[in-house]
Structure 1
Amino acid sequence: MKQTFCVFLLMLLAAFSVAADFPFPVGEELVYSVSWNGIPVAHSTVTTSMDLFEGREVLALRVRTRTAAFFNHIFKVDDRIESLIDPKTFLPIQFTKNMKEGSYRCHEITRFDFEAKLAYYEHQTNGTKKEYAIDADTRDILSFMYFMRSELLESESTLNYRVMSDEKIYDLILHTDEVEKIDLPGYEKKIPSLKMVPEAKFDGLFVRKGKATLWVSRDDRRLLSFAKVKVPFGRARIKLQEVNGPGDDFWITEKKNDD
């Protein structure tokens, strides 16, 4: 059950828009529903903001996944993932993963030193520490996801990337398929979305280490509109429910029942 909820390649997951300085609008909030075997069990909220960290301005990317109240009595989940980014280089400064799933606890912090080309990992729960080499453009999965939002991916292609997860650098292979129309509960029209299948062997953003199929919208925002993930004891589905924050595109102006 624990593997059903940890936050999944959302956003490769979760996706994409172009502002003056960033490939997405700062202040954007994305709300996703998470269902397991057809039962709505959780929701995830993904946000961006400008914050201060150790006296410097940073771009903060955050994902929080929580189970619905009725499901807390069965298996309570409250997962938080955060990436703090240098707004000038768009490289990560610090990546934090704080997972609470049933009795399982995992609180990890990774600091990046690009001058030394080293990352410093510390497990806040058991005290484990580790340092390892990084590349000049190494990114954690969340900052990588947002970095990718400026790229228009083509159908029927295979792309190779390298990302940081679990104190290691991993290969991520992304296979793109055809564009399909996805029905979202908050919008009248179906959303044209590029189908893609990532291959990876590391923890993602919504669900851990499950085989996933993703659909990313083909508009300028390139948002993750829908995802299906095979997990132990069934299948998880992640669907975009709301887009909030700045902007005057259809995501903001054409919501259902939007007065």
Structure 2
Amino acid sequence: MKQIIFIFLLFTTFQSNAQIVEELEYNIRFGFIRGGEAILKANDTIFQDKQSIHYYMEAKTVGLTEKLFPVYDIYESFVNPENYLPYMAIRNVKEQSYKSYNETYFFHENDSIYSQKSGGRKVREGLVDILSVFFYMRQNNLLDKLDKGEEFEVPVYHAGDDFMMTVKYLGTDKVYTDIGEINCHVVSPRVKKGKVLKRSDGLKLYISKDSNKVPLLLEFDLRVGSLKCELRSLKRDGMQLIFR
């Protein structure tokens, strides 16, 4: 469950220009079993006297999964609204008996970061935190420019480590929702398969092929079956957002 929530975080950040409050809610299901839920929020704010987008992500287990492996994670990010690079990121996780809190500050002018836990160091150029990855794909309509089979890389920072994330564009497909069929871009991030994923490319993300670029569905090919993260609710200032 821990690795699943990590991958979910990588690819479910939304709306690069958050002028008003937005909120997305997801169900995490293993077959017919609802094992978790996540809430994402975005709004404009001021960070250290600078205009910023504040992203807030809360993910937790529910039901039987909560009893077997309780998880309650909160991630926050303050992002530059012009280039979508983070100013600061917060990681606050509680997973069974494990607890960890850290703040990381990004200094892109000299490609460095400062972590409350590990101190300062040099990093890759254009590094983004765990909640900023999706901005890269939305920036300059990247997904609309890719051909099926093309790949791109994103420098990512998470839990004290920085690495290159490779993403493959799989083309387009349709997702069936309560409001009808929605055309989507489909991408497959390549990650370490570990003990949960069946293979390193064993997940797919479906992103609405419209101006909203909303992540609707995330599918995992696990060693013991399949798991889906499904969009349950999408709101803007408390009103349901209609896809067009």
Are residues 1:178 and 2:167 paired? no
Deviation at 1:8, TM superposition (A): 2.2
Are residues 1:162 and 2:161 paired? no
Matched to 1:171, the amino acid is M
- Decide whether the 8 Å contact of 1:35 with 1:238 is kept in 2: yes
- Decide whether the 8 Å contact of 2:189 with 2:201 is kept in 1: no
Matches within 5 A, 1:86-235: 86-123=80-117, 129-150=118-139, 151-153=141-143, 154-166=146-158, 167-184=160-177, 187-201=178-192, 211-231=202-222, 233-235=224-226
3-state SS of paired residue (2:148): coil
* Structure of higher RCO (CA pairs closer than 8 Å, 6+ residues apart): 1
- Decide whether the 8 Å contact of 2:9 with 2:130 is kept in 1: no
2:197 counterpart residue number: none
Deviation at 1:84, TM superposition (A): 0.8
Deviation at 1:53, TM superposition (A): 3.6
CA RMSD of aligned residues (A): 3.1
3-state SS of paired residue (2:180): coil
CA distance in 2, matches of 1:138, 1:26: 26
Please, what TM-score do these two structures have when normalized by structure 2?
Answer: 0.81
Q: For residues 144 and 62 of structure 1, do their structure 2 counterparts lie closer, same or farther at Cα, with a shift above 3 Å needed? A: same
3-state SS of paired residue (2:3): helix
CA distance in 2, matches of 1:230, 1:89: 33
For structure 1, which runs of at least 5 residues remain unmatched after alignment? 124-128, 204-208, 255-259
Deviation at 1:87, TM superposition (A): 3.1
Are residues 1:3 and 2:3 paired? yes
Query: How big is each residue's C-alpha offset from its partner over 1:70-127, in whole Å with a ceiling of 9 and x where there is no partner?
Result: 543332211111111133443211111111122222323211122332111233xxxx
CA distance in 1, matches of 2:213, 2:77: 20
3-state SS of paired residue (2:110): coil
3-state SS of paired residue (1:8): helix
1:257 counterpart residue number: none
- Decide whether the 8 Å contact of 1:32 with 1:239 is kept in 2: yes
1:242 counterpart residue number: 233
Query: How big is each residue's C-alpha offset from its partner over 1:39-66, in whole Å with a ceiling of 9 and x where there is no partner?
Result: 1111111111123444544311111112
- Decide whether the 8 Å contact of 1:76 with 1:101 is kept in 2: yes
Matched to 1:116, the amino acid is N
Deviation at 1:13, TM superposition (A): 3.8
Q: For residues 26 and 200 of structure 1, do their structure 2 counterparts lie closer, same or farther at Cα, with a shift above 3 Å needed? A: farther
Query: How big is each residue's C-alpha offset from its partner over 1:134-174, in whole Å with a ceiling of 9 and x where there is no partner?
Result: 34422123123134324242341323223222334322221
Indicate the percent of aligned positions where both proteins have the same amino acid.
20
2:24 is aligned, of 30, 48, 62, to 30
- Decide whether the 8 Å contact of 1:65 with 1:80 is kept in 2: yes
Query: Paired residues, what number?
Result: 235
CA distance in 2, matches of 1:178, 1:29: 27
2:54 counterpart residue number: 60
Deviation at 1:223, TM superposition (A): 1.1
Q: For residues 72 and 244 of structure 1, do their structure 2 counterparts lie closer, same or farther at Cα, with a shift above 3 Å needed? A: same
3-state SS of paired residue (2:131): helix
- 4+ long deviations beyond 6 Å: none
3-state SS of paired residue (1:95): strand
Mean Cα displacement is larger for which, 32-41 or 166-175?
166-175
- Decide whether the 8 Å contact of 2:133 with 2:154 is kept in 1: no
Matched to 1:139, the amino acid is V
